[in-house]
Structure formats: structure tokens, C-alpha cells
Amino acid sequence: MANINELIEGFSFGQQQAIVGGSPVPAIANPQIAANIWRQTNLNTKPWAKMPINEDDKAEIGKGHEFATQLFKSHYQNPDFEISKYCSSQFIAWVMAFSLGNTTLSGSAPYTYTTTPALGSAARTLGGVSGVQSLELPYFTHVQQIRPGGSAILDEAKIGCAVRSWKLSIKNSPGRASAMISATCACTGQYVAPSTITLPAATLLNEFNAGTITALSFNGVNYMSGASASNFVSLDASWDNNFRPGYFPGSGNQDGYQIQGRLEFGDRTFSVQYVVRVAAGSPEYGDLIALTTGTSTVTFLRDSNNSFTMLIQKMAFQTAELSNTDGIVTLQITGSQLYDPINGLVTMTTVTPQNGICQ
């Protein structure tokens, strides 16, 4: 018997090499060592389940009856797993790099990560190999343990994990909960148990809150100064890679169960909604009617070593719905994020003391 508070987790901040088909387990890359793995806390208290799927012969005739008589091993279909945390420069850099897939690293202590959505036709670095053209995103290794050692209750490393989606939330509340980010992760089904990994001490993260926001500008409306200053209430932004199924002939197997040999992004979706107070002369509804487009920027600045900026290159307003928040008349704006032929869709820029993220 174990208490869930004994669960410790880690995941690699460096890329795992691209996974390949093979039996019994596709190749495992260097990031699956303690030196390349963070130990992190998680607001999600549920461990990442390992789920083998069996099938039976119920639908087959010739048995003399309609009932199943045998079970057969089918495949590993692990459920998605959420890493939910307060916003920090290290974790935001990790989420954006592993979910969008095209990251440039510059600077030295602190390090600047400039990340944009990968295009399958564009050359980029994947699994430590430059010039790769692929629909696959960078992979990482996830470790979870309860009383690791000779009589561990849980000691497992999942191999070939990728970020399926993320959600960024900013609220008009105090404390760390005013700025949250969560990443939903998928796994091919590969694993190693015991992990043979000794997790390091928990990483000290440099966290943001809503009070550290220094830029809030949407489609030409500045919510940090001028007539619209202090009118901003909340924001919810999300990204979904809509992974394609990764089972194919030769995709590999483990324990006699088929595993996925790749996690490829499908038609990705980028959603932004925000809420603002309504004042006399508020420009949002007029921008909606006029189909006005412009850049949109959100910036967190903790200090010179820790910052994050989300720059949406071309945004219009899809809807602007009147509502109320805590008795104040508000507008809920749904953005329409457009692809700009020169600047692309969105650019995420993170400054952090952590080196080697997604490298």
C-alpha cells in the first residue's frame, strides 16, 4: 500500500532520438539518463497508466454459440497524461518547444528559445539530426516512481512521449494560480521497468504570475495603457496537434502487444479567447465588424533572466459576446489566428536559465 504523495515524476528536457520500428523495443536515446531528466512536481495527482488492450473471438462463427472463448493480445493504448503546473520560464520553454517543434536556441545564461510551429516541408532539427523534414514532433522520456529500489511499487520509464496539446490560462486572481499551463502528453506504448534511473532533486522553477505581465496587446488594443488600461480580465489559449494514429506494419511490439511507431501531427488548431471589461468607446466590437487584423502580444517578465512572450502574427476577432464577470459588463472575444505569409502564425520567445531544452 502506498500514498499518492510518494509518487515522484521526471521527464527529459532533452530530445529523445526519433523512434523507429523494431522488436521488442525501438531504439532508446541518450536523454533517458538522469543528467537529462528533470524531476518536477505536478498538480495532476493521477499516475500515467499503462493500458494493454486485449480482444476476443466473440464475433467469429464456428464455435457453436455466440460467446467468446479466447482472449488475444492486441495493442498498448495508453491514455493521455496531463502535466499541470504554474507558469515558469523553464516549463513554458519546454512545452512550446516540444509541442510546436521548431526551436532555435541562442544566448548563454540566460538562454533564449524562439519557437514556431513546425511545417512538415521545412528543414529543422529533430532527434539531434539537422535538416529533418517530418510530421513527427520531438520525443521525450517520462519517469514515474514510488519507492524505487529493490521492492519498488512503481518504477517505470515511458519511451517515445510527445506533447499532444497545451492550455495557457491567465486569470484576475492572486498568486501562482493566476498563470497556469498544462500539457497533455501521448505515448507510443514503449516502456522500461524498472527504469534504472535515479531521479535528481526537484528542479527549482522560476515562476510567473499575472502581476508579472508587462504587455497585453490584441489587434491594436493595448490593455496595459491608454483608455483600455486595466480592462483585461482573463485569457485562455490552447494548441492541439491532433495526432494521427501511429500503428502500422512494422511499428513494433512489446510484451506481445503492438505499439505505435510514430506520433505525427495532423491538422493543428490554435485557439485564443479572452475577456475584457466594457467601457465607453471600447473598440473591440468595431474591430470585429471591420474585420480588422493586427498582431497580438502577451509578455511575462519576472526579471532579465526569466521572460515569455507569445506573439500572434495576425489576429482578427471571430466573435465578441456581451457577458458579465463578477457583476461587471464584459466582452468575451474569440480570436481568429491567421497565417501570415511572411511571419507565420505565432512566435513563442522564452528566456530562461535552463540550457538544453529540446536539444
Q: In this predicted structure, what is the pLDDT of residue 26? A: 41
For residues 244 and 2, give the distance between their C-alpha atoms in angstroms, rounded to a whole number: 36
Question: pLDDT over 70 for what percent of the chain?
Answer: 95
Given a cut of 80, whether residue 336 has pLDDT beyond it is: yes
For residues 184 and 338, give the distance between their C-alpha atoms in angstroms, rounded to a whole number: 24
State pLDDT tens for residues 27-76. 444 345 667 899 999 999 999 999 999 999 999 999 999 999 999 999 99
Q: In this predicted structure, what is the pLDDT of residue 229? A: 85
Q: In this predicted structure, what is the pLDDT of residue 123? A: 77
Domain ranges of the chain: 4-52+75-352
Q: In this predicted structure, what is the pLDDT of residue 131? A: 77
The grid coordinates of residue 22 equal 523494431
State pLDDT tens for residues 223-247. 998 878 889 999 999 999 999 999 9
Looking at the DSSP assignment, which residues form a beta bridge with residue 179?
Answer: 170
Given a cut of 50, whether residue 86 has pLDDT beyond it is: yes
Q: In this predicted structure, what is the pLDDT of residue 162? A: 95
Q: In this predicted structure, what is the pLDDT of residue 20? A: 58
Give the mean model confidence (pLDDT) for residues 312-338.
93
The grid coordinates of residue 150 equal 529493490
pTM for the predicted model, two decimal places: 0.94
Average predicted confidence (pLDDT) for the chain: 91
The dihedral sign for the CA sequence 241, 244, 245, 246: negative
Given a cut of 70, whether residue 107 has pLDDT beyond it is: yes
Give the mean model confidence (pLDDT) for residues 281-297.
87
Please report which helix (H) or strand (E) contains residue 346, including its range.
Answer: strand 346-352
Give the mean model confidence (pLDDT) for residues 137-162.
91
For residues 14 and 161, give the distance between their C-alpha atoms in angstroms, rounded to a whole number: 12
pLDDT category at 153 given cuts 50, 70, 90 is very high
Q: In this predicted structure, what is the pLDDT of residue 18? A: 60
pLDDT category at 188 given cuts 50, 70, 90 is very high
Q: In this predicted structure, what is the pLDDT of residue 122? A: 77
Q: In this predicted structure, what is the pLDDT of residue 25? A: 42
For residues 329 and 351, give the distance between their C-alpha atoms in angstroms, rounded to a whole number: 36
Strands 257-258 and 154-170: unpaired
Q: In this predicted structure, what is the pLDDT of residue 289? A: 83
Among the listed ranges 83-97, 125-139, 318-332, which one has the minimum average pLDDT value?
A: 125-139
- 5 backbone dihedrals φ, ψ, rounded to 5°: -70, -10
Given a cut of 70, whether residue 159 has pLDDT beyond it is: yes
Among the listed ranges 16-20, 150-154, 181-185, 299-303, which one has the minimum average pLDDT value?
A: 16-20
